[in-house]
Amino acid sequence: MTYDSASMIQDKNKAVLVIGAGGVGSAYIRKAVQYPELFSEIHLASRTYSKCEALKAECGSKIQVHQVDADDTEQVYQLIQKISPHIVVNLALPYQDLSIMDACLKAKVHYLDTANYEPIDEAKFCYQWQWDYQSKFKNSGILALLGSGFDPGVTNVFCRYAEKHLFDEIKTIDILDCNAGDHGHPFATNFNPEINIREVTQKGKFYKNGRWHEIDPLSESTIFDFPEVGPRKAFLIYHEELESLVKHIPGIEQIRFWMTFSDDYLTHLRVLENVGLTSILPLSFQGQDVVPLQFLKECLPDPSSLAKNYTGKTCIGCLIRGLKDGKEKSIFVYNVCDHQSCYQDVQSQAVSFTTAIPALIGTQLILENIWEGSGVFNIEEFDPDPFMNRLPKFGLPWQVKDNVKSNAF
């Protein structure tokens, strides 16, 4: 590993503002305070101030906390003016991406997120809304790094790394996401329930031979033998990194995304859908408009509360096929993460941890001017090597398995 701690220490005067004190935001803060040399100041702001105060009670003077409604660009801008951070790390929800980007533009500070923009009243995520900010960010001389979580995030970097070092030509990519953990609840989601359920209930979509293909939700599945986990059934779903990787990996013929779900999860989801509780259309209830999915979110466990009793592992990676030196080649580049190890490290479960660490590494690379530029960038547009070098240092070791054979692919 060639992690360069000298470059970290060079750049001392760097403040960060993290927005969102949920599962991912808390894991980010707890990890960041373990490395006091990374930032000159760490600020955390969120909608519910008591969540920020709870983290402040743990971390003491290492962090400063604030209340903000990130839907309101002016509030975010005023906070940025007060703090003067070098970068704003958006770990709130995809709904806030554009309002936070607008505040960053106005204040001329860098921006980073882990999930692409999604309008609250339409279950549709898409990079175009954020790509449309390209010229504004470029002209302002600031950088927006999109999708610096695990998937999107590490998976994109895995693809770029494979393209740079392991292949002459990449033909197909299958991103495989397995959470083989057990949280002990009959039904819970591993990150924000509203965002998670919107994602898995939409139509599946993949790219093949120059065009996009749509399938009914969760209608195609395969069995994949995940390292350290074993064979699991994974379902083809649409995921946001497909959209940017098609654009940035030259010559790609096919790209798909697969996620494992237990039978129990799927049965609960089907029932909730059938009774209308996953709908985002408001209903009138006792004189008030209620969005069923938002109500359902309030009934479900807070994903960060799952951490203490979560056992088992996640395994997420990219099965990549192509040519090297004129020969066909296939690899699986992946990370395995243990829920209990994450809990011991930062009191979070593996899904929050595997999102927070890449966000923390992306922040460092921007603060240290290792990843630099003006404009809006997806993570795979940068050199993958410094990011890959830091993953193990911050708790996400990765491996490459050669000649992966699977009947399913």
Asked if residues 145 and 371 have their Cβ atoms less than 8 Å apart, the reply is yes
Which long-range contacts (C-beta less than 8 Å, at least 24 apart) are formed by 296-300? Answer: 296/193, 296/194, 296/197, 296/272, 297/192, 297/193, 297/194, 300/187, 300/188, 300/189, 300/193
The verdict on 315 binding ligand NDP (CB under 6 A) reads no
Output the smallest distance, CB 79 to ligand NDP, in A: 10
Q: Which of 85, 152, 375, 395 binds ligand NDP (CB under 6 A)?
A: 152
Q: For the CB of residue 167, give the shortest distance to ligand NDP in the complex, in Å.
A: 24
Nearest residue to ligand NDP by CB is: 22
Instruction: Decide the pairing of beta strands 221-226 and 288-290.
Output: unpaired
From the list 23-31, 133-141, 261-269, 362-370, the region that binds ligand NDP by CB under 6 A is 23-31
Any contact of residue 92 with ligand NDP (CB under 6 A)?
yes
Q: Which is nearer to ligand NDP, 5 or 48 (CB)?
A: 48
Q: Would you count residue 395 as binding ligand NDP (CB under 6 A)?
A: no
The site map against ligand NDP for 183-222 (x = CB under 6 A) is: --------xx--x---------------------------
Length of the chain counted residue by residue: 409
Part in contact with ligand NDP (CB under 6 A); list of ranges 45-53, 267-275, 319-327, 367-375:
45-53
Please, which of residues 284-313 interact with ligand NDP by CB under 6 A? 303-304
| C-alpha torsion angle, residues 404, 340, 196, 302 (rounded to 10) | 180
Applying CB under 6 A, among 8, 17, 20, 314 the residue interacting with ligand NDP is 20
Q: Does 150 bind ligand NDP (CB under 6 A)?
A: yes
Tell the smallest beta-carbon distance from residue 382 to ligand NDP (Å): 16
**Using the rule CB under 6 A, which residue among 8, 22, 111, 188 binds ligand NDP?**
22
- The number of residues that bind ligand NDP (CB under 6 A) is 34
Measured from the CB of residue 343, what is the shortest distance to ligand NDP in angstroms? 15
Closest contact distance (angstroms) between CB of 187 and ligand NDP is 16
Query: Is residue 38 classed exposed, middle or buried when 0-12, 13-18 and 19+ CB atoms within 10 A define those classes?
Result: buried
Nearest of 385, 406, 360 to residue 31 by alpha carbon: 360
Q: At closest approach, how far in Å is the CB of 304 from ligand NDP?
A: 6
Residues 228, 231, 232, 234: is their CA dihedral positive or negative?
positive
Is residue 232 a contact partner of residue 224, using CB atoms and an 8 Å limit?
Answer: yes
Rounded distance between C-alpha atoms, residue 252 and residue 159, angstroms: 11
69 binds ligand NDP (CB under 6 A): yes
- Single out the residue of 313, 311, 59, 378 nearest to residue 180, CA to CA: 313
Q: Which stretch binds ligand NDP (CB under 6 A): 43-51, 211-219, 258-266, 282-290?
A: 43-51
* Residue whose C-alpha is closest to residue 22's, from 195, 183, 219: 195
Q: Which of 18, 91, 234, 333 binds ligand NDP (CB under 6 A)?
A: 91
Give the nearer residue to ligand NDP in terms of CB position, either 88 or 142: 88
In this structure, the number of other CB atoms found within 10 A of the CB of residue 160 comes to 23
- Please report how close the Cβ of residue 240 comes to ligand NDP at its closest, in angstroms: 8
The answer to whether 152 touches 114, Cβ cutoff 8 Å, is yes
Task: Kindly tell me which residue out of 8, 46, 329, 396 binds ligand NDP, with binding defined by CB under 6 A.
Answer: 46
Residue whose CB is less far from ligand NDP, 94 or 386: 94
41 neighbors 16 (Cβ within 8 angstroms): yes
Q: Report the residue number, 47 or 256, with the smaller CB distance to ligand NDP.
A: 47
**Residue 28 in the binding site for ligand NDP (CB under 6 A):** no
Q: Does 349 bind ligand NDP (CB under 6 A)?
A: no
Q: How far is the CB of 193 from ligand NDP (least distance, A)?
A: 8
* Spatial separation of the C-alpha atoms in residues 1 and 394, rounded to whole Å: 12
Binding stretches for ligand NDP (CB under 6 A): 19-25, 46-48, 51, 68-71, 91-94, 96, 114-115, 149-153, 191-192, 195, 303-304, 351, 355
